[in-house]
């Protein structure tokens, strides 16, 4: 069984598209947990909840009392989750029908050291054109690779609940890079990862609403580099040197 955790904010139209793609999944044994981060369009969400709570066997809707950010919403959903495997996805992304089935098959054929299963993913723009293809084939406990960069497309990731719990859930103090930080902590804690080598996840990129290289993004990168510098130094000193270079490069850009 799978718990699907969806943080959402002000985007009921995208949320409906995602829910339709979940409804089309060939694997049907799941619960859905939607966490609304205190969106101002409360009535729109009530309409969506009334509709989809009737279409899914297990549908839970939670609303934060104040706007607390996506990491808090993800953590709240994870704490509410009942099942062993957790599929994490943002409200504006989309899954193809075989996504959950392919991931759960890998988990079922692996031992308990496996903590993460991700998938190949296409990033598409608002016109539906593919703008980037995520085709990593990295598996095992790739500590060097995850410290070098986030190769796991976040809307594709399914995790074993006990593995994500033992590293302390998402860091709510990071303004960005929370997903990279989470996968880093899991892999450094010896969670193994495997990949579904077929495109079953669609990552939607938008002209607006994207963090991009905003102040939040820069701050998140800087905090990530500081947080994982010692780990990088132990795993590969070259990576730690790269962190120092990027840290001061980004700081100088923000100060210009």
Containing structural domain, residue 231: 211-256
Number of domains in the chain: 2
| pLDDT tens track for 90-121 | 999 999 999 999 999 999 999 999 999 999 99
| pLDDT tens track for 220-246 | 999 999 999 999 999 999 999 989 988
Closest CA to 3 of 113, 91, 97, 81: 81
Q: What's the pLDDT at 200?
A: 98
Say if residue 85's pLDDT is above 80. Answer: yes
> Are 108 and 165 contained in the same domain?
yes
> Are 223 and 185 contained in the same domain?
no
Q: How does residue 188 score in pLDDT terms, banded at 50, 70 and 90?
A: very high
> Are 41 and 88 contained in the same domain?
yes
Say if residue 8's pLDDT is above 80. Answer: yes
| pLDDT tens track for 141-176 | 999 999 999 999 999 999 999 999 999 999 999 999
β-strand partners of 3: 31, 86
Say if residue 71's pLDDT is above 50. Answer: yes
> Are 201 and 219 contained in the same domain?
no
Q: How far, in Å, CA of 22 to CA of 90, rounded? A: 12
**3-class state of residue 123 by DSSP:** strand
Q: What's the pLDDT at 214?
A: 76
Q: What's the pLDDT at 208?
A: 54
Structure-model confidence comparison of residues 128 and 137, the more confident one: 137
Q: What's the pLDDT at 16?
A: 96
> Are 228 and 116 contained in the same domain?
no
Q: How does residue 250 score in pLDDT terms, banded at 50, 70 and 90?
A: confident
By percentage, how much of the chain surpasses pLDDT 70? 96
Q: For 219, left (φ over 0), alpha (ψ -120 to 50), or beta? A: alpha
Q: What's the pLDDT at 217?
A: 85
Average pLDDT of the segment spanning 64-69: 96
Phi/psi at 196 (nearest 5 deg)? -85, 115
> Are 204 and 216 contained in the same domain?
no
> Are 184 and 234 contained in the same domain?
no
Q: What's the pLDDT at 211?
A: 39
Say if residue 33's pLDDT is above 90. Answer: yes
> Are 109 and 217 contained in the same domain?
no
Say if residue 210's pLDDT is above 70. Answer: no
Q: How far, in Å, CA of 140 to CA of 184, rounded? A: 13
> Are 103 and 222 contained in the same domain?
no
What is this structure's pTM?
0.93
Q: How far, in Å, CA of 169 to CA of 186, rounded? A: 10
> Are 241 and 202 contained in the same domain?
no
| pLDDT tens track for 9-19 | 999 999 999 99
> Are 218 and 153 contained in the same domain?
no
Closest CA to 118 of 196, 219, 214, 48: 196
Mean pLDDT score of the chain: 94
Q: What's the pLDDT at 253?
A: 67
Q: 198: domain CATH number?
A: 3.90.550.10
Say if residue 137's pLDDT is above 50. Answer: yes
> Are 41 and 123 contained in the same domain?
yes
**3-class state of residue 138 by DSSP:** coil
Q: How far, in Å, CA of 73 to CA of 66, rounded? A: 11
């Amino acid at each position: 069984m799978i718990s699907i955790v969806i943080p959402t904010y002000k985007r009921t139209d995208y949320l409906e598209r995602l829910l339709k793609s979940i409804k089309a999944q060939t694997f049907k044994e799941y619960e859905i947990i939607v966490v609304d981060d205190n969106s101002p369009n409360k009535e729109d969400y009530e309409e969506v909840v009334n509709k989809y709570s009737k279409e899914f066997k297990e549908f839970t809707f939670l609303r934060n009392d104040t706007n607390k950010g996506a990491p808090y919403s993800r953590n709240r959903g994870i704490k509410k989750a009942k099942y062993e495997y957790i599929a994490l996805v943002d409200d504006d992304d989309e899954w193809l029908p075989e996504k959950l089935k392919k991931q759960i098959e890998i988990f079922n054929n692996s031992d308990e050291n496996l903590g993460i299963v991700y998938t190949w993913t296409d990033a598409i723009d608002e016109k539906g054109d593919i703008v980037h293809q995520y085709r990593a084939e990295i598996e095992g406990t790739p500590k060097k690779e995850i410290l070098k960069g986030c190769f796991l497309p976040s809307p594709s990731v399914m995790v074993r609940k006990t593995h994500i719990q033992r590293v302390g859930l998402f860091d709510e103090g990071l303004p960005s890079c929370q997903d990279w930080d989470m996968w880093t902590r899991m892999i450094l804690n010896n969670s193994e990862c495997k990949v579904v080598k077929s495109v079953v996840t669609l990552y939607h990129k938008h002209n607006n609403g994207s963090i991009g290289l905003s102040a939040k993004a820069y701050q998140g990168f800087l905090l990530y580099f500081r947080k994982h510098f010692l780990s990088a130094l132990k795993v590969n000193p070259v990576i730690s040197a790269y962190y120092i270079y990027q840290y001061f490069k980004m700081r100088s850009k923000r100060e210009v």
